[in-house]
């Protein structure tokens, strides 16, 4: 039965575009944009879930996607499933052109709901 | 604007303190003494950013508001090791900057409890420049 509780812990996932070849610092900044925006948005609509997520250690993982189309498809599927999503568009000060979509943030959401969406993706 | 947010706007208490006019940023200093992968670093910096955001909402709401209004600028810098991060934290505290330390739970890659990231701010850019000016971009 212990399995059940860990599977149900809320989680947040960042899906980053591997084709942009961002540096470690760039990737970290883009993911934290997603983290902050998802958290602030989720606090308005899923306040209890956010509290549960933070109390359980605010789990976050970073996965990689091959291209923009994958990000958009996953964002659509997550929204249909009723999850909080945020697409990060870069201001383009460095490395990539302005307006480039770099990262998709999903959650905090029940881990099962996230796993169902991103099970085929690899860790970044 | 929806009716409820309109109502909220006119009935909410006035924010504490002076409005800031200078741009704010958040700085995350990553412990380079640990061998973390790119995805690991991203998740740790994400922890730091969310924790720092929540903290500033309670302790320095004006900084948070200004930072969100100006595009929540973030910068990632390289720190040598845990001692370096702690030294920077001391400096920042002395300057009245909000500091957040991220310790890893150790599920992957590195020993449990390692100090991975120091998040500073959100704070006025010039104030942070004085503390982290000589650090290299990650």
Supply the pLDDT for residue B14. Answer: 63
Which of the residue ranges A6-10, A89-93, B63-67 has the most confident prediction, judged by mean pLDDT? B63-67
Supply the pLDDT for residue A91. Answer: 81
Per the omega criterion (within 30 degrees of 0), is the bond before B66 cis?
Answer: no
Cβ atoms of A39 and A108 closer than 8 Å: yes
* Domain chopping of chain B, boundaries: 18-132
What pairs with residue A122 in β-bridges?
A64
Compute the distance between CA of residue A60 and CA of residue A53 in angstroms, rounded to an integer.
10
Please state, as a whole number, how many other Cβ atoms lie within 10 Å of the Cβ of residue B42: 30
The rounded percent of chain A whose pLDDT value lies above 90 is 85
Q: Does residue B129 have a pLDDT over 80?
A: yes
Q: Does residue B16 have a pLDDT over 80?
A: no
Average pLDDT over residues A21-26: 94
Q: Does residue A3 have a pLDDT over 50?
A: no
Compute the distance between CA of residue B69 and CA of residue B53 in angstroms, rounded to an integer.
13
The total domain count for chain A is 1
Burial class, B85, CB count within 10 angstroms (exposed 0-12 / middle 13-18 / buried 19+): buried
Distances (CA, A) of A79 to A27, A43, A82: 23, 16, 5
Q: Does residue B80 have a pLDDT over 70?
A: yes
Domain containing residue A115: 8-123
Compute the distance between CA of residue B36 and CA of residue B25 in angstroms, rounded to an integer.
24
Mean pLDDT of chain B: 91
Nearest to B50 among A30, A36, A61 (CB): A36
- Higher model confidence: residue A50 or residue B14? A50
Supply the pLDDT for residue A46. Answer: 94
Residue of A nearest to B76 (CA): A25
Domain presence at residue A3:
no
- Higher model confidence: residue B91 or residue B111? B91
Average pLDDT over residues B114-122: 96
Average pLDDT over residues B65-71: 93
Domain harbouring A70, CATH code? 3.40.1490.10
Q: Both tokens of residue A61?
A: 């993982």
Supply the pLDDT for residue B10. Answer: 75
On chain B, the residues whose CB falls within 8 A of the CB of A36 are 49-50, 53, 72
Nearest-Cα distance to chain A for B137, in Å, is 7
A95 — pLDDT class (breaks 50, 70, 90): confident
Supply the pLDDT for residue B40. Answer: 95
**Dihedral class, residue A49 (left if φ above 0, else alpha if ψ from -120 to 50, else beta):** alpha
| Domain spanning B18-132: CATH superfamily | Bit1 (3.40.1490.10)
Mean pLDDT of chain A: 92
Q: Does residue B87 have a pLDDT over 50?
A: yes
Interface of B with A (CB under 8 A): 28, 30, 37-51, 53-54, 68, 71-72, 74-77, 105, 137-138
Average pLDDT over residues A61-84: 96
B13 — pLDDT class (breaks 50, 70, 90): low
A1 — pLDDT class (breaks 50, 70, 90): very low
Domain presence at residue A2:
no
Q: Does residue A4 have a pLDDT over 60?
A: no
Nearest to A60 among B46, B72, B75 (CB): B46
Classify strands B24-31 and B115-124 as parallel, antiparallel or unpaired: antiparallel
Question: CA A34: distance to chain centroid?
Answer: 7
Compute the distance between CA of residue A59 and CA of residue A111 in angstroms, rounded to an integer.
10
What is the ipTM, given to two decimal places?
A: 0.89
């Amino acid at each position: 039965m212990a399995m059940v509780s860990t599977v149900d812990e809320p989680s947040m996932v960042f899906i980053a575009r591997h084709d942009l070849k961002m540096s470690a610092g760039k990737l970290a900044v883009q993911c934290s944009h997603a983290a902050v925006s998802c958290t602030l948005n989720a606090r308005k609509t899923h306040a209890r879930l956010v509290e549960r997520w933070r109390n359980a250690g605010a789990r976050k993982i970073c996965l990689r996607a091959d291209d923009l189309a994958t990000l958009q498809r996953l964002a659509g599927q997550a929204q249909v499933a009723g999850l909080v999503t945020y697409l990060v568009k870069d201001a383009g000060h460095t490395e990539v052109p302005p307006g480039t979509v770099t990262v998709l943030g999903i959650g905090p959401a029940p881990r099962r709901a996230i796993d169902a969406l991103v099970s085929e993706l690899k860790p970044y | 604007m929806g009716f409820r947010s309109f109502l909220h706007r006119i009935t909410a208490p006035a924010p504490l303190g002076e409005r800031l006019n200078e741009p704010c940023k958040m700085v995350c200093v990553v412990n380079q003494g640990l061998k973390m992968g790119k995805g690991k670093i991203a998740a740790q910096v994400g922890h730091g950013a969310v924790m720092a955001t929540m903290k500033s909402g309670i302790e320095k709401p004006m900084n948070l508001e200004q930072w969100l209004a100006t595009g929540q600028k973030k910068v990632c810098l390289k720190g040598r090791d845990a001692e370096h991060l702690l030294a920077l934290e001391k400096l920042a505290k002395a300057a009245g900057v909000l500091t957040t330390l991220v310790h890893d739970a150790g599920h992957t890659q590195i020993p449990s409890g390692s100090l991975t990231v120091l998040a500073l701010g959100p704070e006025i850019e010039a104030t942070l420049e004085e503390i982290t000016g000589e650090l290299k971009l990650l």
